[in-house]
Amino acid sequence: MGPLETSLSGGAVVVDAFFPALPERSGTAFAEIARRKGDYAVCGAGVVVTLDADRRVSAVRASYISVGLVPEVHDLTEAVAGKPVDSADWAAAGALARTLVDPDTDIHASADYRRLLVGVLTERTLADAAAEAAQRSAA
């Protein structure tokens, strides 16, 4: 229904969730930026990269924490689709991600700073996820 809300009424709580397995030849990564170790993130990025049988990028998705009220999943595939995993332009995917988010400004960071972090964290995490996907496709 919204941040920290469910459609359950009364004292009911969610006790179960299902997450399907990732496709073969997929890799994941997560990174966050916080002011101090242990602080809540100013921005965080979780990504998934999936390769095809020829080790070319077939799907790229990213989600961000502390950027909006709730995390949203963004499809960044168009920035790198069909590129060999070793030469994909992860910076282009980061640039695309910056255009898709609408961060809030609060006492911790400005919207512009969060948008910058989205680009930087996207580029870093996609490179890590792609390396994991490449390793899994080689096995």
- From CA 103, how far away is CA 61, in angstroms rounded? 18
> Residue 114's domain spans which residues?
26-138
- From CA 98, how far away is CA 50, in angstroms rounded? 21
Answer yes or no: is 11 within a domain.
no
Per residue in 56-114, pLDDT tens?
999 999 999 999 888 889 999 999 999 999 999 999 999 999 999 999 899 999 999 99
Answer yes or no: is 63 within a domain.
yes
Q: With 0-12 CB in 10 A as exposed, 13-18 as middle and 19+ as buried, what is 33?
A: middle
Tokens of 77: 């595939």
What's the pLDDT at 3? 77
CATH number for the domain spanning 51: value is 3.30.390.50
Answer yes or no: is 50 within a domain.
yes
Answer yes or no: is 127 within a domain.
yes
On whether the CB atoms of residues 41 and 32 are closer than 8 A, the answer is yes
Tell if the pTM clears 0.85, that is, is over it. yes
Q: With 0-12 CB in 10 A as exposed, 13-18 as middle and 19+ as buried, what is 98?
A: middle
The angle, 0 to 180 degrees and rounded to 10, between the axes of the packed helices 90-100 and 111-138 is: 140
